[in-house]
Amino acid sequence: MPEFDARHKDYAKYRIERSKEDLEAAHLLFNAGNYRIANNRAYYSIFHAMRAVLVFDDYDSSKHSGIIVI
């Protein structure tokens, strides 16, 4: 199993925290009946989670198409 440096772990942790924040916002918005905006926050939660995982492959893209392609 490969060893990852602190930079990889810090980036992944930061992105997972962003993902969790967006997911929490999605839950709140959904429960308030704001379904369209809740869907948007849920999408971004997944986007940030995928960016966190891809850190360990030394890959990043700020564009959604760059994440989807992988």
pLDDT of residue 32: 98
16-70 tens-digit pLDDT: 999 999 999 999 999 999 999 999 999 999 999 988 988 877 756 666 565 665 5
pLDDT of residue 59: 59
- Nearest CA to 47 among 25, 24, 16, 26? 16
Helix (H) / strand (E) element for 50: namely helix 35-54
pLDDT of residue 54: 87
- Nearest CA to 70 among 30, 12, 61, 42? 61
pLDDT of residue 61: 62
